[in-house]
A and B are shown apart, each in its own frame.
Chain A
C-alpha cells in the first residue's frame, strides 16, 4: 500500500502512464488472452488442419510431411466413412427433434402456465441435473438399459424387453444429456413472448392449436434453433456416450479417436475431424438468417 500512495513510486508512475495512454492499456489487456487463444489455440488447430494433408509411413508409423490429398480421397471414396457420417448426422438430427418435442411443452408450461413461484422451482429442477455431470448421466442410462435393468423390468409385464445397448440407446442417452440445453433457450424465448399476444389471438377467435401455429411457433422458432445448435453440435462430436450405451455402433468421433489411439494415424484422424467441423459451420451459416445466434 505504501508504494501505491507515495507520489513518485514506480507503481504510481506505471499507473500514470497507463492512465495517459489508453493504447498501452488496451495492448496490455489484450496481449495475454490473444497470445493464448490465437497463438496457442488457433495455432494448434491450424497445425492439425495442415496435418490432415500429410500421411503416415506404413512400416514405421512416422508422419510423412508431404502434401497429399489421399486422406480426403479415402474419406469420400470409402463407403464405410460415408455410412458413419450419415449415421452421425442422423443421430444428431434425431436427438435434436426428440429434444425439441420434449422441451417445447415443458418450456411452455414453465413460462406461461406455472405460477411465478412454481416457475422458479421448475427452472431449478430442470437445471440441477446439469451439474450432476456427463458421465454420471451416461452411466445412469447404462444401468437403465442393462440386461436386468429398470427398462427391462418395466416392460416385462407388457411382454416387452428393453432395447439393450445400441443406436436407439445412444439416441435416448444423448437426448437426455442435452435436454436442458434445449429447454432453457426455448423457455427464455417463450418468456419474451408477451401474454397480450396470446390473449389477442384468443379474442380474435383462434383456438389453442391455431394460436400455436400462427403466433407462438413463428416467434419462438429462433429460440428452438438456438437450442438445436447445442443439441446438434454436442451430439455430432460425441464418442463417449456411444461407447457406454452404444454397443458396437460407431460415430464420427469414434473413428477420430481410434485413429489417434490404436491406429496411430494422426493425419487421417485430423482429416476425419474436419467433417463435423465442416458440418457445424454449414449448419451455423444456414441458421444465421433465422436470428438464432442472437438467442444463444
Chain B
C-alpha cells in the first residue's frame, strides 16, 4: 500500500514503543525478584536468589496456590457442562427467547465484578445459611462458574456452527443412539473447542479477585487474595514480588498450549 516513508517509520516506532511499554514493567518485576534491597531501590545494587527460596518455602503461598487450582478446576468443570448444554440448545433448536440466552451468558462478565460479587454474597448469605452452608470454597466455585460459562459457551457455539449436523445424522443413520452419537462423534469433534474454552475459563478464575473477595469465607484464600492481602505489608514485599514474577513466567504456558490447540484445529 502507498504509505509515505515518514508514516511507515512513525508506525514502526509506535509499535516498538508500545511493546516496550507492555514489557518494561513486567521485566522490572522479574529483575526485582532478585533485588537484594527489600525496598526495591532502583537500579538494584546487589542480586540474590534468597527471595525465591523463601517464597517456595512459604506455607501461605503454597496453600493459596492449591486453593486457586481447586477453585479454577471446579469452576471450569461446572462451566464446561453448563456452557456446552446452553450452546447445544441455542445452536441446534429454535425456541422462544433464544436470542436472550447469549446476552444472559455474557451478563456476569459484562457487569462490574463488584455488582456480581455483592449480589452473590447477599444471595448466598440469605439462601444458603439456613441450610448450614457457609461461605467457602464451594461458594467461590459457584461464583467463578457463573462468569466462566461464557468462555465455554462461545467456543462450543462457534464449533457447533461450523460442524453442522451432517456427521451426527450419519451416525444416527448407522444405528447409534443419542448418547452414542454424542460420545463417539460429537464430543471428539468438540474436544479442542472445550480445551480452548476451558483454558480461558481456568485463567479467568485463577486471576479473579473481586467476586472471590465477596464469595470466599474467612478461611478461604486464593492466590490473588493472598497477594492483595500481603501487598501493603513491607516485610512481605520480596515474597509478593517473587510470586508476581513466577506468575509472569508461567503466563507463557497457556499461550503455548493455545498455540498448539489452534495449530491442531487448523489441521482438522
Q: Which residues in A have some Cβ–Cβ distance to B below 8 Å?
A: 4, 11-12, 15-16, 18-19, 22, 25-26, 29-30, 32-33, 36-38, 40-45, 47-48, 51, 102, 105-106, 108-110, 112-114, 122, 124-137, 139-144, 146, 148-150, 152-153, 176, 179, 195, 198-199, 201-203, 207-208, 211, 233, 236-240, 244, 253, 256-257, 260, 266, 269-270, 273, 276-277, 280
Contact = CB atoms under 8 A, between A and B. Distances in A.
Contacts of A233: 110, 112
A105 B18 contact: yes
Contact of B29 (A37, A108, A139, A199): A139
A47 B118 CA distance: 11
Most buried by A among B114, B118, B240: B114
Given A131-B255, A144-B25, A202-B2, A32 B85 contact: yes
A161 B43 CA distance: 15
Interface residues of B, number: 84
A295 to B, nearest CB: 14
Query: Which of B119, B120, B146 is most buried by chain A, counting CB atoms within 10 A of its CB?
Result: B119
B15 A109 contact: yes
B219 to A, nearest CB: 18
Given A45-B111, A280-B110, 7 more contacts: A29-B89, A33-B89, A42-B104, A127-B255, A134-B209, A140-B244, A149-B40
Contacts of B42: 148-150, 152-153
Instruction: Enumerate the 6 nearest inter-chain pairs by beta-carbon distance, A residue then B residue, closest first.
Output: A237-B112, A202-B2, A15-B177, A105-B14, A131-B251, A44-B123
Contacts of A41: 107-108, 116, 119-120, 146
Contacts of B89: 26, 29-30, 33
B172 interface: yes
A132 B115 contact: no
A142 B227 CA distance: 13
A26 B32 CA distance: 55
A129 B251 contact: yes
B88 interface: yes
Given A132-B26, A140-B28, A12 B18 contact: no
A132 B112 contact: no
A4 B175 CA distance: 12
Contacts of B39: 148
B123 A136 contact: no
A266 B21 CA distance: 40
A296 to B, nearest CB: 9
B95 A129 contact: no
B19 A132 contact: no
Contacts of A132: 26, 247-248, 251
B177 A29 contact: no
Nearest to B213: A257
Contacts of A253: 112, 114
Contact of A273 (B115, B126, B146): B115
Interface stretch (B3-11, B50-58, B130-138): B3-11
Contacts of A276: 112, 115
Given A124-B259, A133-B247, A280-B111, A29 B28 contact: no
A105 to B, nearest CB: 4
B165 interface: no
A240 B212 CA distance: 13
Contacts, number: 245
A3 to B, nearest CB: 10
A236 B210 CA distance: 14
Contacts of B206: 133
Chain A's interface: helix, strand, loop or mixed, by majority?
A: helix
A42 B112 CA distance: 14
Most chain A CB neighbours (cut-off 10 Å) among B40, B118, B209: B118
Interface in B24-56: 24-26, 28-29, 32, 39-43
A108 B15 CA distance: 9
A76 B261 CA distance: 51
A136 B120 contact: no
B103 to A, nearest CB: 10
Contact of A176 (B4, B21, B101, B111): B21
Contact of A11 (B26, B179, B252, B255): B179
A235 to B, nearest CB: 10
B224 A135 contact: yes
A14 B157 CA distance: 25
B85 A4 contact: no
B113 A139 contact: no
A148 B58 CA distance: 27
Contacts of A176: 21-22, 25
Interface string B240-259: 11001001100110110001
27 contacts: A16-B177, A19-B178, A33-B82, A36-B146, A40-B142, A45-B111, A45-B115, A45-B119, A106-B14, A109-B12, A113-B3, A128-B251, A132-B26, A132-B247, A134-B207, A134-B224, A136-B227, A140-B25, A143-B32, A144-B25, A198-B1, A201-B2, A237-B112, A238-B112, A256-B114, A256-B115, A270-B118
